[in-house]
């Protein structure tokens, strides 16, 4: 009897230990989630106290991104002969093509109609070489400067080497400047990147967002990282527009979507 009692006693003890461990394992994820939520709320409160406004529904979701590459070639220099109705100037130093129409090109109508006319203009290869590969970006544009960024199967390219800028004065296209990286391809398998919220939080904790400012929008795109063996290497980047509440000046900053580090000094417009 004593032997059986000892066996039952050990059985009950081990059963209680298993139940305890099971309860702790079940409770742990809830505890971690609560802690994360508390941290997010705390940082949002700190931002609010500093007068920093951020989009209400900024995404916390992670996604995948690539390292991309483009061959460094002169894609625009040999296109000048095709632009017979334009006066052209190509700079080999920065691979920039500047073009001025020989005859007036007028725009009319409301803003939506003007954008459609500009879209038709840039999609015509006799007006703009590779123009159909560029998409309009309202966040980088105003009523006299219309900015377009190069598109790729992986996302938009936010880089000075992949941009089309059309200048308009008194409803007339005065000129445009274009740079083009050429075909884009992935050089590695997709990797997990940080969320939009993580990018904004990293900028705030690194004091890259000034007090009394507003985060206008956060977009995922690709920016230049470096040049290797005749190719430009691009990486996924969170593009963040920040407006000063006092001056209304807007600064664009870029955050490395792999490491959450500021990629380069922001540019103002």
CB 177 within 8 A of CB 66: no
The confidence score (pLDDT) of residue 97 equals: 97
Q: Is the pLDDT of residue 1 over 90?
A: no
Where would I find the beta strands (DSSP E) of the chain?
Answer: 63-65, 68-71, 86-91, 96-101, 134-136, 145-150, 163-169, 172-178, 185-186, 191-193, 213-228, 231-244, 250-256, 262-268
Residue at which a domain ends, from 178, 202, 232: 178
Q: Is the pLDDT of residue 31 over 50?
A: no
Task: Give me the domain span that covers residue 242.
Answer: 40-67+185-268
Q: Does residue 9 lie within any of the structural domains? A: no
- Reference 260, options 200, 210, 187; nearest CA is 200
Q: Does residue 152 lie within any of the structural domains? A: yes
Give the burial class of 163: count Cβ atoms within 10 A of its Cβ; 0-12 exposed, 13-18 middle, 19 or more buried.
Answer: buried
pLDDT digits (tens, 9 = 90+) for 69-96: 999 999 999 999 999 999 999 999 899 9
**255 — pLDDT class (breaks 50, 70, 90):** very high
**35 — pLDDT class (breaks 50, 70, 90):** very low
Q: Does residue 22 lie within any of the structural domains? A: no
Q: Does residue 199 lie within any of the structural domains? A: yes
Quote the percentage of the chain above a pLDDT of 90: 77
Q: Is the pLDDT of residue 21 over 70?
A: no
Residue at which a domain ends, from 159, 178, 197: 178
The confidence score (pLDDT) of residue 72 equals: 94
Per-residue pLDDT, averaged over 221-235, amounts to: 93
Q: Is the pLDDT of residue 269 over 80?
A: no
pTM summary value: 0.80
pLDDT digits (tens, 9 = 90+) for 163-190: 999 999 999 999 999 999 999 999 989 9
CATH of the domain at 91: 3.30.310.160
Q: Is the pLDDT of residue 99 over 60?
A: yes
Work out how many domains the chain is built from and give that number.
Answer: 2
The confidence score (pLDDT) of residue 190 equals: 92
Same domain for 116 and 46? no
Residue at which a domain ends, from 129, 155, 178: 178
Q: Does residue 218 lie within any of the structural domains? A: yes
Q: Does residue 120 lie within any of the structural domains? A: yes
Same domain for 140 and 53? no
Per the model's pLDDT, the better-predicted residue between 132 and 229 turns out to be 132
The confidence score (pLDDT) of residue 56 equals: 85
Q: Is the pLDDT of residue 107 over 50?
A: yes
Least-confidence region, from 3-7, 151-155, 195-199, 218-222: 3-7
């Amino acid at each position: 009897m004593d032997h059986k009692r000892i066996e039952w006693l050990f059985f009950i003890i081990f059963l209680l230990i298993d139940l305890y461990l099971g309860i702790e394992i079940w409770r742990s994820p809830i505890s971690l989630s609560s802690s994360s939520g508390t941290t997010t709320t705390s940082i949002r409160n700190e931002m609010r106290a500093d007068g920093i406004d951020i989009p209400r529904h900024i995404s916390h979701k992670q996604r995948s991104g690539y390292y991309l590459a483009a061959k460094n070639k002169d894609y625009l220099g040999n296109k000048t002969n095709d632009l017979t109705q334009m006066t052209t100037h190509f700079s080999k130093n920065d691979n920039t093509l500047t073009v001025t129409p020989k005859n007036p090109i007028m725009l009319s109508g409301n803003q939506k109609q003007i954008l459609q006319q500009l879209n038709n203009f840039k999609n015509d290869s006799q007006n703009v070489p590779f123009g159909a590969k560029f998409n309009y970006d309202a966040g980088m544009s105003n009523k006299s400067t219309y900015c377009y960024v190069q598109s790729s199967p992986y996302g938009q390219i936010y880089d000075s080497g992949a941009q089309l800028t059309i200048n308009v004065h008194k409803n007339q296209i005065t000129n445009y400047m274009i740079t083009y990286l050429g075909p884009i391809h992935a050089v590695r398998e997709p990797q997990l990147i940080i969320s939009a919220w993580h990018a904004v939080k990293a900028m705030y904790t690194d004091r890259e967002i000034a007090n009394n400012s507003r985060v206008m929008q956060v977009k995922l795109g690709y920016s230049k990282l470096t040049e290797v063996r005749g190719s430009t290497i691009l990486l996924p980047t969170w593009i963040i527009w920040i407006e000063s509440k006092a001056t209304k000046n807007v600064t664009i900053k870029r955050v490395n979507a792999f490491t959450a580090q500021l990629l380069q000094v922001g540019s103002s417009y």
